[in-house]
Amino acid sequence: MTVIAIDERICTGCQECTKICPNLAIEGLPHQPQKINEDKCVMCGQCVQKCKSYVSMAEHGFSAYQEVHAARGLPGTVTEPLFAAHNITHIMEVKNALADPNAYTLVQSAPAVRAAIAEDFGAPFGLVSAAKLAAALRKLGFDKVFDTNYAADVTIMEEGSELIHRVKNNGVLPMFTSCCPAWIRYLEMNYPDLRKHLSTCKSPQQMGGALFKTYGADLLKVPAKKIYSVSIMPCTAKQYESSRPEMNDSGERDVDVVLTTRELVWLIKDAGIDFLSLPDEQFDLPMGDYSGAAEIFGVTGGVMEAALRTGYELITGEKIPAIDISAVRGIDGFRKADIAVGDLTIKVGIVTGLKNVKPVMELLAAGKLDLHFVEVMTCPVGCVTGGGQPKLIDETCFESAFRQRISATYNHDKELPIRKSHENPSVQSLYKDYLKNPLGALSHKLLHTTYCGDKKSAH
């Protein structure tokens, strides 16, 4: 499946994309059009964020611009410069579904989306716009507006339980997070023999997709076949993930289509919606209910911290003494921490940016990685800097933008009344009424997977 492309008519061969590519998938000579080797591409979209070659109406004329515009299937309201490196858009598929009276449309939105989307409507960096995001999605015509954060809380219930099971039963350690599809693809390509170290948990997007078409379909009294499930993600690799053959445990394709944050912005503008003037609205319950732990999934170290908040209390049966776990926060390439959990010491590692994972994997292959749990995020400081986020043209503002997105995410976590995944009442109801137990039979069927490891599955 092609997710990322470089338009050779536009590419000037500046090679900014080659410098950022974590798996050396972009090939070509300097000052010549570059090409993507799809057998090596992890589809993270960082090349899309860094690309500097573009076509615009102002500099290249209407006909040159319109040719590229039409080829990409963009809405007519898109007038911004079009860059050589881009992700394949699925906007028209979503517009058609929203216009189809026979489709029941559900949408979920990842935590990192709300930390950045307002930037493309003129807001300053660091504005979390969850309530306006929910309102915009509803105004677009989605029948139900759910939240990937709900599924992130479910992910912690499953992943935390899996880690505890591995630690207590001499399972394969360290266990690596499995939320990031670009990281999983990298592992499959470069270290296939080490796949046993991956958590078997699906990503929150895919857990959400499976639950929406089973548990959700039952609650809504809508046949799963009628449900058209859309994800709004900061990540270009999520479209690839949703198309994997492993992701159909609901009996259908669990997530039908993925739009990036940028594509949602285009869709909102195309509908003539004034995003910043929208009244605040909430996500639909129960699958729009979330904790602060789910919110911090969007920043590096966030999945680790969320898991530790819940893991501590599941292991000890006591309240965690300090809910903010600063030892796992930060944006350095690879950091380690020892976390006291009752009588246990949990040794954790956090990899920020896929370019920093190779030395970690070499230690693992050599049997020298003495850790219990490792988080890996492909993008520079986590999902808030994903390949599908608003494109920052001025590189001098990168650091400021990244830090403010991170700060806003942690602030939103602190504002929420519930900050631990296992205390989310809607998640508690999910287990009580439907799943029964983390790692139970139904949980394993819907929420866990074993990756096939076949690169051809991506094409």
* 433 and 317 fall within a common domain: yes
Tell me whether strands 26-27 and 35-36 are parallel, antiparallel or unpaired.
Answer: antiparallel
Q: Is residue 47 part of a domain?
A: yes
Kindly tell me the sign of the dihedral angle through the C-alpha atoms of 205, 206, 212, 215: negative
* 24 and 152 fall within a common domain: no
Q: Domain of 77: which CATH number? A: 3.30.70.20
Query: What does 75-91 look like in DSSP terms, one character per residue?
Result: -TT--S-EESEEEPP-H
CA angle 381, 385, 389 (to 5 degrees): 170
* 64 and 172 fall within a common domain: no
Q: Is residue 98 part of a domain?
A: no
* 84 and 180 fall within a common domain: no
Residue with tokens 């089973």: 214
* 285 and 163 fall within a common domain: yes
Q: Is residue 202 part of a domain?
A: yes
* 308 and 229 fall within a common domain: yes
For the chain, what is the radius of gyration of the CA atoms? 21
Query: Token pair of 409, please?
Result: 């995410």
* 161 and 307 fall within a common domain: yes
CA–CA gap between residue 336 and residue 348 (Å, rounded): 6
Q: Is residue 114 part of a domain?
A: no
Last residue of a domain, one of 88, 115, 133: 88
* 77 and 154 fall within a common domain: no
Sequence-distant (6+) residues with CB within 8 A of 48 are 4, 83, 85, 86, 87, 236, 387, 388, 391
What residue ranges in 162-226 does DSSP mark as E strands? Answer: 175-176
**Spatial contact of 80 and 55, defined as CB atoms under 8 Å apart:** no
Query: Residue 91 CA to chain centroid, in angstroms?
Result: 18
Residue 316 is predicted with a pLDDT of 94
Give the tens place of pLDDT for each residue, 276-314.
Answer: 999 999 999 999 999 999 999 999 999 999 999 999 999
* 50 and 152 fall within a common domain: no
Give the tens place of pLDDT for each residue, 80-103.
Answer: 999 999 999 999 999 999 999 999
Residue 1 is predicted with a pLDDT of 83
Burial of 407 (0-12, 13-18, 19+ CB in 10 A): middle
CA–CA gap between residue 99 and residue 142 (Å, rounded): 10
Query: Residue 248 CA to chain centroid, in angstroms?
Result: 18
Short-list 41, 375, 377, 434, CA closest to 207: 434
C-alpha distances in Å from residue 13, one per residue of 4, 23, 48, 306:
17, 18, 14, 42
CB atoms within 10 A of CB 358: 15
Q: Is residue 262 part of a domain?
A: yes
Host domain of residue 82: 1-88
Residue 396 is predicted with a pLDDT of 84
C-alpha distances in Å from residue 198, one per residue of 162, 226, 326, 356:
11, 33, 25, 17
What sections of 349-452 are H helices per DSSP? 358-365, 398-415, 425-430, 441-447
**Spatial contact of 268 and 275, defined as CB atoms under 8 Å apart:** yes
Q: Domain of 178: which CATH number? A: 3.40.950.10
* 65 and 186 fall within a common domain: no
Q: Is residue 137 part of a domain?
A: no
Q: Is residue 74 part of a domain?
A: yes
* 47 and 154 fall within a common domain: no
CA–CA gap between residue 273 and residue 286 (Å, rounded): 26
Q: Is residue 60 part of a domain?
A: yes
* 21 and 149 fall within a common domain: no
Task: Please state the pTM of the whole predicted model.
Answer: 0.95
Q: Which residues are catalytic?
A: 159, 162, 179, 199, 238, 241, 246, 383
- Which residues in the chain show pLDDT less than 50? 454-459
Number of domains in the chain: 2
